[in-house]
A and B are shown apart, each in its own frame.
Chain A
Amino acid sequence: MKAYINATSSISSQSTLNEENYLEEWIPIEADYHKAVDPNYRDFLDPKMARRMARIIKMGVVTSSKCLEELQNNSPGAIIIGTGLGCLQDTAKFLKDIVETEEGLLSPTAFIQSTHNTIAGQIALLIGCTNHNFTYANRGFSFENALGDALLHLEEGNNDILVGGIDEVIPETNVILQKLGCFQSDNGGVTSSPSLGEGATMFLMSSHQKENSLAVIQGMKTLFKPNSEEEVIESIYGLLVEVGVEINQIDGVLMGYNNSKKDDDKYDQLVSSIFQGKSIYQFKNISGEYFTASAFGCHLATKMIAYQKEYPQTLVSGDSKKEFEYIVVYNHFHSDYHSVTLLSKC
């Protein structure tokens, strides 16, 4: 099933939220992770709400409202969110309250906002959307589960699906993830920036082409714990065969290089096999690494196709390109969660 992307919006460590200056200037990364650039939330939300809502929810609400501008009735057929770690700020706050009061008298506000489905729930609440509403929290498949669900909806005849991937970093998890060695760079990779990141990326999708359609998702495949590189390659070929595209038609490959040698080796293996000679791009020097970073990969591919251009600081190897008919986004988390998504021009 083809999915036409009619809008996409992303908050990342670079200027990706606004059309006007999209990735025009490189913002130096000052934090020890790819901290997402917060917009002025009051431009999008009433001040009371902007103050009360947790940051991750605000990121979700802003990116989804940008996408929904493209939908006349403002009512998507489904709202589907992927988030690997969910609403950490409120989870951490409520845990801290429990510790500090030794299970004393607690305000429920943080608990109320701590559940993973708060983001999708708040989006639905704000626009009064009573349709299908799902939240996936599945490690390196969090966004892929959501996207797969969106494609299934389009196949079933539902339309105008709002789907996205969102994760946040809070100081506590920054420390914990560092100690766990999760999402950390070891400077063996292709860039020298930190690895961990955060952000929100949303898409609005339909089963038929519209005037404002930007790109098409031709298909997506996930592979859980493959036994070998061959299995990964087979899976990528499997997707191409399914949609009837030859490997030589692929103009660019967006790879989830994350600055960790162990992970990047897996990408390099594919560059020297199935993707040999292709223009290879990275996207995590913009988004950073997190459970739903692949959503940003799909977002960047959409932009490359829609505007027929490559963005500075993303080309890793191969020729610089000006035309993109087909782009592959390939990502894996800790070699266990692999996903490949094929996008094309409308």
Chain B
Amino acid sequence: MTERVYVTGWGIISALGNDIEENLHALKNKKSGISSPLFLKTNYANQKVVGEVKLSNNDLKKQLGFEVSKTISRTALLGMIAAKESIRLSGLSSNELHSALFFNGTSVGGMDVSEVHYKAFLEGEEVNYKEAFSGHDCGHSTETIANYIGALGETSTISTACSSSANTIMQACRTIKGGKAEVAIAGGTDALSVFTLNGFNSLKILDDHPCKPFDKNRKGLNLGEGAAYLVLESERSVRARGANVLGEVIGYGNANDAYHQTASSPQGEGALNAMRKAMSVADDISIDYINVHGTGTGNNDMSESMAVNSLFKENMPLYSSTKAYTGHTLGAAGAIEAVFSLLSLRHNLLFPCLRVDTPMDVISQPPIFDVVEKEVNTVMSNSLGFGGNCSALIFKK
């Protein structure tokens, strides 16, 4: 279990842009991607704001070389865009890819397609079943992306709500450390859907305006969409092919809050346990910055603040949530924020909480409100979800 795991490729698509460079540019310039939905067909289009990817399904299909008439879920389309970039930047050959493992995280899979046809189905109208429903299950998105990029080693799909793709990165690292693989692609994807928008709305945790995590007067979260993947490699594989290293995954931890199906415990015990486990795997290395989960709901930001307070006490690192930029991208959030964490390490830049007027005062110091230029060697990234699923990852330069 001494094998080290390096990041040698990355790819992303989010409301901030369609690749790594565009995301970095928006982050540096404090340009949020939150807006009224352009593509999501919902009755709430005039009332809710979302972190939507600024490309239509047809644009995405054209970029990927598909016929626009082909039915493919937006979840799979976003996944293919980001996975393709991660492979391109990793320099992996198609031969090396053939035996690579693919770990994908998603919460709703092809829901964006099936929900459109479900009304017709319920009303007994004619439905093209294959187009409507064959891509519904989470594993179908994984299969589609794995086929597209040619990663045929083995697939794995984790669906642990908002921590799905943090868990795929953890799982890929454990698999490589356990000597079961040399190369793995891990991350996740989720498209906006009417299902999730109405779900979060029914829970009354959506802010109708652009969200402001860690503000005392925060009203809730904005939903977002996107995908991100990391190429993870063993030390041996990195050496053998002279791969370019972007960073190292040195810690990971998963724990269950065991408190409530959707709400976090007041003291954030699940988050605390996950962070503790990650710190223990990372030999209690000093953390320079935390990309917190920070959704912008009253419950999450309070509970997570209590947890980081208990762990770091007076040695609180700098921290912020980047969800004011992207919205909460659910199953993709862990991977998207892993890419942001690696951007912080690569560029010595920390990206701030946006729109905070009155910062919460639970933690002794407020989050960062502006882009900070600073030597960054270690970053922790948190992902907390429904079902009490809490995860923490630690990245090192």
Contact = CB atoms under 8 A, between A and B. Distances in A.
Interface of A: 79, 84-86, 91, 94-96, 98-99, 102-103, 105-108, 111-118, 120-122, 124-125, 128-142, 145, 148-149, 152, 155-156, 172, 176, 179-180, 182, 222-225, 291, 336
A133 B388 contact: yes
Contacts of B346: none
A121 B362 CA distance: 28
Interface stretch (B207-215, B255-263, B287-295, B317-325): B255-263
A138 B385 contact: no
Interface of B: 1, 42-44, 107, 109, 115, 118-119, 121-122, 127, 129-130, 133-134, 136-140, 142-143, 146, 152-161, 167, 171, 174-175, 178, 180, 194-195, 198-199, 201-204, 254-262, 269-270, 273, 385-389
A85 B110 CA distance: 12
B296 to A, nearest CB: 18
A149 B171 CA distance: 8
A86 to B, nearest CB: 7
B161 to A, nearest CB: 5
Contacts of B195: 91, 94-95, 98, 111
Nearest to B107: A115
A contact face: mostly helix, strand, loop, or mixed: mixed
A135 B160 CA distance: 6
27 contacts: A86-B138, A91-B195, A98-B198, A99-B118, A107-B202, A114-B199, A115-B161, A115-B387, A117-B389, A121-B388, A124-B256, A129-B256, A131-B256, A132-B255, A133-B389, A135-B158, A135-B159, A135-B387, A136-B157, A137-B159, A139-B140, A141-B157, A145-B158, A148-B156, A156-B178, A176-B133, A336-B143
A156 B252 CA distance: 14
A152 B174 contact: yes
Contact of A138 (B44, B139, B175, B260): B139
Contact of A120 (B137, B203, B387): B387
A52 to B, nearest CB: 11
B139 A137 contact: yes
B42 A99 contact: no
Given A94-B195, A152-B174, A133 B387 contact: yes
A91 B195 CA distance: 9
A224 B257 CA distance: 34
A98 B117 CA distance: 13
A129 B258 contact: yes
